[in-house]
Amino acid sequence: MCGILAIFHYHGDPEGYRQHALDMARKIRHRGPDWSGCVIKNQCIFCHERLAIVGVDSGAQPLTNADESLVLSVNGEIYNHKALERSLKAPPQFKTNSDCEVIMHLYAEQGIDMVGQLDGMFSFVLYDTKQDRLIAARDPIGITTLYQGFDSRHPETVYFASELKSLNQDCDTITAFPPGHVYDSATGKTTQYFQPKWFDPAVIPTTPVNYPQLRQALVSAVRKRLMSEVPYGVLLSGGLDSSLIASIAIREARKIAASSGAASDLDDSVDWSGTRGWPKLHSFSIGLPGSPDLAAAQEVAKFLGTVHHAYTFTLQEGHDALADVIYHLETYDVTTVRASTPMYLLSRKIKSMGVKMVLSGEGSDEVFGGYLYFHYAPTDADFHQETLTRVKNLHTADCLRANKSTMAWGLEARVPFLDKEFLEVAMSVDPRDKECNAKRMEKYIIRRAFDPEQLVQDGEANTTPYLPPHILWRQKEQFSDGVGYSWIDSLRDVAERKVSDADFAIRATRWPEDTPATKEAYYYRHLFEQSYPQPACSHSVVRWVPRTDWGCSDDPSGRAQKVHSAAYQPNAN
């Protein structure tokens, strides 16, 4: 993962603007501390801040083809790059070992239509000097971040950047580039390239769950994300999602390390050389002292045999980090800020150990209806449509959190639950199989898929448990709750002290649009504007609003839902 900045059709002298463009890119150097690059072609400027994960020795960007008629700057990973390289009609002339260079060669043969073939997480800009044409694209779900900006004084110029902090001084309009879309300067249009059947909210799936298919799809998703030439690890909260990813990862890493490469049953479309060099899996967790997640993560790590690193933070350390967290997140959404702060602190610890990539469990709750409020879905159709809405909006919430909290320290997070092929399987399941109620725990089918009893029933050769039963069937605990229940309580207390009743009473005057409903929300909005006072920045923010129309609490914490306390009463911290 990296940081990109592109300026298309700059209205002045691009060479004279070069230093300013470098200054704009420097604002996102935390995303790519390993190397910087800048290429100017015609009236276009491309800057890149690199985090080297694959093609470490030769993948510096921006990339150019043999005759330098194409310029490419990418943030992300293309997992199927080997297969795509073999699909090229003309003998490719690769200049690097980067997994991203294939994008240029695909474009040369197929044009803009090649975007749909990419399997990975990515945002990129590609400039064709011969046609004076720029295309920009973002991965189907928006795992990576990308913003597009404009200056009303010079409408002919278009800006792109991984984070809005690179654009806020130069653009008076900034929008989050939509996931699954591609921009083409030849038409000036942004069109949707990712349109699977399950994307249609009017179509309610009727396919019964196929446990072997669901299980294999997730295993494959984890396996391909082990593509790395640098030390990697797993974020481990001790909940179902991260624990399951860790369990699969350690099994697959052992297979890869044991294989010869030339004759193995591994997918040869992926370069496994780096994974074989780092076969020992490290896991990482964080929480307040005595938190539910720390205890569960320690147990899972012991069960799996990972090299585990557990960190604690104090309430004061969390409070002190809030301004920095919001600066990096570029949002004031309450749920995102609550959960991002511990992740931000943990990412710093992980990076200090030399680890540059981690697997994480984002996406499962959206795909399977794992949030506790899904217990109150009125109908099957409502349940499915809410999962679909949450998946489509992940780029405004959990994907944004996972990407920016980790990339603040130059750490890349990969999310197997949002694999394109896994989503095709999981989002096509009949919602009646996914539903949760008093007798059926949330995310039942993904738990069942990895239950030893189901493994036996499916005739699996290896029925060794993936996880301890009480972890596999542990109730959903949102990350901002699981790090310690006093974390959210303390945030409310801080906001109560920081925001006066008088200021809160006139909040609608200060913010007539998207007016904060609580002092906590007011406080985060205030911190946001300290870093981003421009209206263009606040217009890019999307807040998550709970389904109060389902009878749910208006507090986004999972602990606020009645089903949480009905299941058990963990010790408060």
Known binding positions: 99, 235, 286, 360-361
Interior/surface letters 242-279, b for 16+ CB within 10 angstroms, e for the rest: bbbbbbbbbbbbebbeeeeeeeeebeebbbbebbeebe
Report helix, strand and coil shares of the chain as percent, to nearest 5: 45, 15, 40
Four-point Cα dihedral 530, 534, 539, 542, nearest 10: -20
Binding residues for L-glutamine: 99
Omega prior to 62 cis, within 30 of 0? yes
Order of strands, sheet of 158-161, starting from the edge strand that comes earlier in the sequence: 35-41, 44-50, 3-8, 158-161, 147-150, 173-176
Rounded to whole angstroms, the Cα distance separating 418 from 411 reads 18
- Identify the active-site residue in 2, 44, 100, 399: 2
Report the largest interatomic distance among the alpha carbons of the chain, rounded to a whole angstrom. Answer: 71
Determine whether 47 is an active site residue: no
CB neighbours of residue 469 within 10 Å? 11
> CA distances (Å), 457 to each of 37, 465, 469, in order?
54, 14, 17
Asked if 486 contacts 573 with a C-beta cutoff of 8 angstroms, the reply is: yes
Strand-strand pairing, 282-287 and 307-312: parallel
Binding residues for ATP: 235, 286, 360-361
Asked if 290 contacts 474 with a C-beta cutoff of 8 angstroms, the reply is: no
Residues 6 or more apart whose Cβ sits within 8 Å of residue 125: 4, 6, 8, 46, 72, 73, 134, 135, 136, 160
Q: How many residues does the chain have?
A: 573
Q: SS3 sequence, 180-208?
A: CEEEECCCCEEEECCCCHHHCCCCCCCEC
Query: Token pair for residue 487?
Result: 């974390």
List phi, psi (to 5°) of 136. -135, 140
Rounded to whole angstroms, the Cα distance separating 80 from 304 reads 28
Number of H helices, E strands in the chain: 24, 17
Q: How would you classify residue 142: left for phi > 0, otherwise alpha for psi between -120 and 50, otherwise beta?
A: left
For 428-497, give the DSSP string. Answer: TB-HHHH--BTTB-TTHHHHHHTSHHHHHHTT-S----SS-HHHHTPPP--HHHHT-HHHHHHHHHHHHH
Rounded to whole angstroms, the Cα distance separating 562 from 555 reads 12
Rounded to whole angstroms, the Cα distance separating 185 from 188 reads 5
Rounded to whole angstroms, the Cα distance separating 98 from 132 reads 25
Instruction: Look at residue 179 and give its three-state secondary structure.
Output: coil
Q: Which residues carry out catalysis?
A: 2
